[in-house]
Amino acid sequence: MLPLVVALFVALALTTWFQRARGFGVTAQANPDVVTHDRTIPLLGGVAIMTGLLGGLGVYGFDPRSQVHYLVALGLLVGLGLFKDLRQRDFSPAVQLLVQTIAVSVLVFDDPQPSLPSSAGQVLLGVLFINGLNFIDVMDGLASTVTIVCAGSIATALVVLGIGDPTPALVLIAATMGFLWFNRPKATIFMGDVGSFGIALTLLWLLRPAWNHPDVSGPLIAVVLAAPLLEVLVTGLSRVRRGRSPWVGDELHPSLRLLAHGLRPLVVIAIYAAVTALAGLVAVGASVAIAQ
């Protein structure tokens, strides 16, 4: 219980500080593609989440020496996200994809006897997922809610399948909840790329016990990540069909289309949460059936 309390209150305290300090000048400008983003909003909420997460894991007894691959990969993506948040200008998609690929490869190839086809598939899935969660972080409270549901599904899978400790996933939920209080519609702070990149990498790390377990289908349990994966695929293909770059932000995100059709932000969030929860139930249920 103490790790969860630490994660929650550290994230809550830092989010409060960053929000009142207007992100120390690190802000996101109003976005004409998002009806709710009609003013300048401070960033750095992701720094609060990551600090709360690592603080909670530290209290729990997290051993950095046993998780070097995760920490190196996390450092790469948090550094990339922080650089983008501070810069707030166009950034090379090729460089971003390269750093993401390196980070996910560092995480995936922690297996002393990796299967190259499986590992390559995990890297591709991981890079898509990281960008998918980043794409979802386009409206208030959406990425935070999806993160909480994804982490809850992973924790459930680890317990039901008996293949891992759910506590780190619960710590992530607690840290994200500390931020969500200020990120719910109408948000007063955003997580920024440092948050979406760091959270996505952490969710991939939490899935590692399921993916590597001999009695569990890794690709099947990855259905837990369905909502962000669908987001990046649907949005990217929609942009390409219109002759646009898949990496330049616009109004073609499914969530923004739902807003444009008159749905309230909380309804859109509820739809995404329901889809994510359903995907988690399918993944866990099917994995249990296969394991038996």
Quick: pLDDT tens for 38-52.
788 888 899 999 999
Q: Do 129 and 279 form a contact (C-beta atoms < 8 A)?
A: no
Q: How confident is the model at residue 91 (pLDDT cuts 50, 70, 90)?
A: confident
251 against 34, higher pLDDT: 251
Q: Identify the band that residue 23 occupies on the pLDDT scale cut at 50, 70 and 90.
A: low
Please write the tens of the pLDDT for every residue from 102-132.
999 999 887 666 565 577 888 988 999 999 9
How confident is residue 220, by pLDDT bands cut at 50, 70 and 90? Answer: low
Confidence of residue 63 (pLDDT cuts 50, 70, 90): confident
Longest distance between any two alpha carbons in the chain, whole Å: 54
Distance CA 226, CA 133 (A): 10
Token digits of residue 151: 């982490």
Q: What angle do CA 88, 32, 91 make, to 5 degrees?
A: 25
Residue 186 banded pLDDT, cuts 50, 70, 90: confident
Q: How far is CA 173 from CA 7, 18, 42, 147, 151, in A?
A: 9, 20, 22, 7, 6
Q: For residues 208 and 199, give the distance between their C-alpha atoms in angstroms, rounded to a whole number.
A: 15
In this predicted structure, what is the pLDDT of residue 218?
66
pLDDT of residue 183: 92
Q: How far apart are CA 146 and CA 148, in angstroms?
A: 5
Kindly tell me if the per-residue pLDDT of 89 is higher than 80. Answer: no
Q: How far apart are the first and last CA of the chain?
A: 32
Residue-averaged pLDDT of the chain: 87
User: 27: which strand partners?
Assistant: 42
* Number of domains present in the structure of the chain: 1
Determine the structural domain holding residue 132 and report its residue range.
2-291
pLDDT at position 146 is 95
Of the chain, the percentage scoring pLDDT greater than 70 comes to: 93
Q: Smallest Cα–Cα separation from 139: which of 8, 273, 35? A: 35
% the chain with pLDDT above 90: 45
Per-residue pLDDT at 26 = 79
Identify residue 39 by its one-letter amino acid code: R
